[in-house]
């Protein structure tokens, strides 16, 4: 893009990197829309005026409307850049994080950028502009005390990767990954400067200058800083390598009978898992569908197994808090999931937000609750059903891709956090599986018979649990696709566009 005056929206413009970006772009004479949660009266810089500043708390439901109202008042009908920079941190043990804090963090770091993108795409299309998503280099790492933060930012990586393929002719999508920076974010997350390598972090101004240069370039993804680039690529490559190893922790002290908790256990992969694990475990199944849950329970009973049902809508935070789960579990499988397939801009944002609620927020909330109540047995396994989309872009399901990337990186951080407690964390990346889920979201079902059967997948997950694997790519085909996605992402993007997106 040229350096002529541009209209640039920056979220989180009141502090840190966002404030520095605002100063730099203002100095170039651009028209700015600065979004922040503080009242204008609390902002002293001349940068912030009723014309430039939009007060919108991104953790609140009215945030998108506030931004749209501001744009309408200022008669701004097109945008050149939308820079999603606002972010919140949390540092501490997973079980100590209050559920409301998990929800707020996800809302600001993951939901708000997706919701705002949906609302602002028409304005970006006017200029063939660019969407810039600020993530973090930490998303290539598993870090025990940063599990929720990393999940929230990894979801943004997955969203960017898939949406980019979808919007390629219309609007650019760029992912920027800074490393640790000397800003107020750490103190706001409750970290003491003395605990960090504070003086070695670059200043917000320096990082903002580099981000600005990155935005002016055509690069799809930019890691800020040489050391961070090294860290990111080592973390990505070796992180995945480490995941494939078996956990060195050993299974022990199992409850009698062994107990297995499965979400979404009434149908599809969840039902197959319930039937398989019921051979050796008492099943505690969570589902929203009473009729199907009763059928699965009856089938387990008929085979000599045992099962309790908890009816719960996992998209409802209050319902998760009220789940009365007794006792401890040897195996917990976060399986419940939905998708929303179609063009991101054409689907309603509400149906896409439900995907985040069920696929990402619910496992985070439930895991926190189980850990807080010490309901995971020492020697047990915590399993997350992610998706092959973690390795390949998934145009036409960018929010689903976001949720599954968030889950995969959450699992990687939890693996580090739970190792001292001898709890293994297994992440499963299924490809197309022959269930109603796949049938519902595929453009055509002509190749349904080539999809893996849920029973075969359940048998593999059972084996991986017993062997204490950390990662499962359940077929040779999925292993090949995953490798291709890592080594030649543009080839898999093209394939996904042709075989899925263009048929939607």
Ligand X SMILES: NC(=O)c1ccc[n+]([C@@H]2O[C@H](COP(=O)([O-])OP(=O)(O)OC[C@H]3O[C@@H](n4cnc5c(N)ncnc54)[C@H](OP(=O)(O)O)[C@@H]3O)[C@@H](O)[C@H]2O)c1
Residue range at the interface with ligand X (CB under 6 A); choices 10-18, 328-336, 346-354, 437-445? 10-18
Rounded CA separation 67/121 (Å)? 13
Using CB under 6 A, which of the segments 57-65, 246-254, 328-336, 367-375 binds ligand X?
57-65
Active site residue 441: no
DSSP string over 82-104: EEE-------S-GGGS-HHHHHH
Binding to ligand X by residue 57, rule CB under 6 A?
yes
Q: At what angle do helices 398-418 and 362-372 cross, to 10 degrees?
A: 20
Which of 10, 58, 67, 215 lies at the binding interface for ligand X (CB under 6 A)? 58
From the list 160, 185, 275, 300, which residue makes contact with ligand X (rule: CB under 6 A)?
Answer: 185
Among 6, 7, 16, 391, binds ligand X (CB under 6 A): 16
465 is an interface residue for ligand X by CB under 6 A? no
Q: Which residue is nearest to ligand X (CB)?
A: 16
Coil, strand or helix: which one is 75?
coil
CA angle 400, 406, 410 (to 5 degrees): 145
Contact with ligand X (CB under 6 A) among 5, 28, 29, 38? 38
Looking at the Cβ atoms of 189 and 456, the one nearer to ligand X is 189
Return the closest-CA partner of residue 312 out of 288, 292, 338, 336: 288
> How near is the Cβ of 352 to ligand X at its closest, in Å?
20
* Size, binding site for ligand X by CB under 6 A: 28
* CA angle 305–375–364, rounded 5-degree value: 105
By CB under 6 A, is residue 205 in contact with ligand X? no
Q: How far is the CB of 399 from ligand X (least distance, A)?
A: 19
In the list 88, 222, 312, 358, the residue contacting ligand X (rule: CB under 6 A) is 88
Residue 52 found at the interface with ligand X (CB under 6 A): no
Q: How far is the C-alpha of 239 from the C-alpha of 154, rounded, in Å?
A: 14
Q: Is 382 helix (H, G, I), strand (E, B) or coil?
A: strand
At which residue do the structure tokens 């009215």 appear? Answer: 62
Catalytic-role residue among 53, 146, 149, 462: 149
Query: Between residues 4 and 44, which has the closer beta carbon with respect to ligand X?
Result: 44
Give me the least distance between CB of 341 and ligand X, in Å please.
28
Nearest to 503 by CA among 461, 441, 419: 441
Angle between helices 454-466 and 268-277 (to 10 degrees): 50
Interface pick for ligand X out of 115, 139, 181, 367 (rule CB under 6 A): 181
Integer Cα distance of 397 and 163 in angstroms: 8
Query: Smallest Cα–Cα separation from 263: which of 281, 243, 289?
Result: 289
Does position 432 bind ligand X by CB under 6 A? no
Check residue 59 for interaction with ligand X (CB under 6 A).
yes
Q: Token pair of 340, please?
A: 């929303």
111's CB contacts (< 8 A; 6+ apart) are: 353, 356
CA distances from 503 to 164, 185, 468, 498 (A): 17, 43, 39, 8
**Site for ligand X contains 497 (CB under 6 A):** no
Which segment (115-123, 176-184, 350-358, 455-463) binds ligand X by CB under 6 A?
A: 176-184
Between CA 161 and CA 140 the distance in angstroms is 15
Nearer to ligand X, 12 or 270 (CB): 12
* Residue numbers 97-156 binding ligand X by CB under 6 A: 108, 134, 136
Least distance to ligand X from the beta carbon of 253, Å? 39
Map residues 380-419 to x or -, x wherever contact with ligand X holds by CB under 6 A. Answer: ----------------------------------------
Query: What residues are annotated to the active site?
Result: 149
Chain contacts with ligand X (rule: CB under 6 A): 12, 14-18, 36-38, 57-59, 85-88, 108, 134, 136, 178-181, 183-185, 188, 204
């Amino acid at each position: 893009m040229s350096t002529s005056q541009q209209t640039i929206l920056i979220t989180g413009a009141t502090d840190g990197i966002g404030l520095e970006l605002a100063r730099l772009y203002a100095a170039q004479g651009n028209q700015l829309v600065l979004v922040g949660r503080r009242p204008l009266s609390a902002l002293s810089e001349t940068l912030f005026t009723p014309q430039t500043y939009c007060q919108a708390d991104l953790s609140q439901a009215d945030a998108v409307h506030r931004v749209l109202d501001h744009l309408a008042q200022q008669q701004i009908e097109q945008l050149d850049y939308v820079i999603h920079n606002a972010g919140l941190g949390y540092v501490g043990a997973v079980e100590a994080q209050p559920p409301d804090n998990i929800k707020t963090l996800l809302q600001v770091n993951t939901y708000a950028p997706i919701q705002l993108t949906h609302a602002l795409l028409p304005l970006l299309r006017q200029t063939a502009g660019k969407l810039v998503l600020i993530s973090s280099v930490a998303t290539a790492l598993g870090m025990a005390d940063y599990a929720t933060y990393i999940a929230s930012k990894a979801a943004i990586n997955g969203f960017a990767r898939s949406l980019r393929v979808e919007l390629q002719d219309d609007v650019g999508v760029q992912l920027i990954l800074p490393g640790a920076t000397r800003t107020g974010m750490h103190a706001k997350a409750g970290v003491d400067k003395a605990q960090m390598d504070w003086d070695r972090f670059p200043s917000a101004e320096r990082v903002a200058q580099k981000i600005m240069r990155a935005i002016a370039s055509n690069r799809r993804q930019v890691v800020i800083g040489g050391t961070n680039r090294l860290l990111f690529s080592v973390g990505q490559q070796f992180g995945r390598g480490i995941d494939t190893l078996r956990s060195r922790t050993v299974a022990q002290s199992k409850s009698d009978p062994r107990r297995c908790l499965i979400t979404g256990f009434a149908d599809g992969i969840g039902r197959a898992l319930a039937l398989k694990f019921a051979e050796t475990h008492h099943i505690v199944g969570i589902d929203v569908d009473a009729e199907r849950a009763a059928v699965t329970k009856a089938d387990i009973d008929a085979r000599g197994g045992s099962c309790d049902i908890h009816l719960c809508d996992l998209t409802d935070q209050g319902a998760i808090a009220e789940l009365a789960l007794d006792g401890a579990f040897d195996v917990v499988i976060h399986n419940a999931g939905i998708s929303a397939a179609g063009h991101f801009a054409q689907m309603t944002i509400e149906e896409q937000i439900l995907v985040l609620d069920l696929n990402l927020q619910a496992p985070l909330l439930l895991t926190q609750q189980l850990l807080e109540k010490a309901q995971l047995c020492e020697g047990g396994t915590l399993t997350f059903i992610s998706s092959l989309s973690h390795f390949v872009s998934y145009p036409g399901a960018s929010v689903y891709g976001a949720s599954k990337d968030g889950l995969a990186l959450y699992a990687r951080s939890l693996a580090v956090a739970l190792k001292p407690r001898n709890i293994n964390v297994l992440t499963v990346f299924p490809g197309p599986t022959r269930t109603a889920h796949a049938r519902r979201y595929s453009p055509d079902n002509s190749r349904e018979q080539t999809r893996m059967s849920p029973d075969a997948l359940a048998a593999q997950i059972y084996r991986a649990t017993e062997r204490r694997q950390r990662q499962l790519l359940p077929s040779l085909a999925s292993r090949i696709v995953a490798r291709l996605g890592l080594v030649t992402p543009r080839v898999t993007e093209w394939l996904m566009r042709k075989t899925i997106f263009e048929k939607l």
